[in-house]
Amino acid sequence: MIVGLGVTGCIAAYKAVEVLRGLQKRGATVRVMMTHHATELVGPLTFQSISGLPVIIEMFAPTDDPEIKHIQIAQEIDLLLVAPATANTLAKFANGIADDFLSTLYISTTAPVLVAPAMNVEMWAHPATRENVRRLRERGVEFIDPGEGYLACRTVGAGRLAEPDEIVARAWEMLNEPVDRRGGSSSRSGSSATPMTGERVLITAGPTYEAIDPVRGITNRSSGKMGYALAEAALARGAEVTLVTGPVALAPPEGARVISVRSASEMFNAVMGNLEAATMVLMSAAVADYRPAHPAAQKIKKGNNGMVVELEQTDDILAATGLKKDSRVIVGFAAETENVVANARKKLLEKSADLIVANDVSAADAGFDVDTNRVTLVSVEESIELPLLSKRAAADAIVEAAIKIKHTRDQQ
């Protein structure tokens, strides 16, 4: 398998060396293309020494090879991976500008494309960048969204390049997916993904926050990444998506109707208020089971003794949805630390769900705070254990399973 690795002018360019090594360890041949600005941050000789192949920078460099280089590489690669991808590169790709080797290669290849952006938090959030990302997603380009953290510009926020291991894992998944060379990866182009035109999907995501007093509260480690990935997967298939989200630090998926909530009570009301219009419900939010019974109106001052907080149960959103199920497909999630499948099956029956997505959140590479997940799809008929996947790839599998359930029900 041959990967074209594009490296652009971002301070995170040094991490592309780790991406290169990770791909090689999995058996891929990697052809590296660098923009001029990238060469000012990492020397081309580094990539050449590791890849064992010349690094391409110039569009029209003299060569003994009579082939038109960008066409030759465009036809031979199985995946174009750009990591890191700057805002400038995204703008070029989205608008068909081909003024250097990498942008010309992008517009020349029919291979799947995977992009890992990295930039300042304000650049990532800018409407122009969001519009360029939306356009590229619509054309089938896969994204590994940047993570949050301390950035080179000495600010904190979204914009940090995803971890090299995550980028390599997603690239390897795409290399092993069925591919339509005229339309890219099947998971995005729709060559094998089932369309959802006409479906109205209601999705919950993220944590809830239950106030103890005006400055303290009870919450959990959910990042919302799984729910947002589900929204992207449904949108990519043509569904109309309403995303009810707890407090997260993620950019809203382009095209989704987003309802931001804070507490379990607010999420309950938002779900119930939008349930009637939904044909499918995917409930990935980590909703608090308990909340303080008597939240203080003012900040509780520290005293010499301990403090007891009386808790009361919150409304069970999944159970309430199950009572109004009708013809809807309802997918619940079970974050477990033991007896994962058994607990998920119990939840499936008690909540009248059609599918429970179960995962062991005690695992280091799955569940909360990470970009990968290892889930088991539990239905009345079977339990299907999926391998470790990016949350975006797991979302595709979950959505596909939900569609299968709906189609089977419609045919009965």
Catalytic residues: 153
Q: Is residue 216 within a helix (H) or strand (E), and if so which, with residue range?
A: strand 216-218
Of 160, 184, 163, 177, the closest CA to residue 22 belongs to: 163
In sequence order, what DSSP letters do the residues of 358-376 get, joined into one string?
Answer: EEETTSTTSSTTSSEE-EE
Q: Is residue 184 within a helix (H) or strand (E), and if so which, with residue range?
A: strand 184-185
Task: Please tell me the distance from the alpha carbon of residue 320 to that of residue 328, in angstroms, as a whole number.
Answer: 13
> Are the C-beta atoms of residues 287 and 206 closer than 8 Å to each other?
no
Whether residue 84 has a cis bond before it, omega within 30° of 0: yes
Q: Work out whether strand 2-7 and strand 79-85 pair parallel, antiparallel, or are unpaired.
A: parallel
Task: Please tell me the distance from the alpha carbon of residue 189 to that of residue 250, in angstroms, as a whole number.
Answer: 24
Coil, strand or helix at 143: strand
Task: Please tell me the distance from the alpha carbon of residue 6 to that of residue 83, in angstroms, as a whole number.
Answer: 6
HSE-CB at 214 with a 13 A cutoff on CA atoms is 4
Give per-residue burial for 104-140: e unless 16+ CB within 10 Å, then b: bbbebbebbbbbbbbbbbebbeeeebeebbebbbeeb
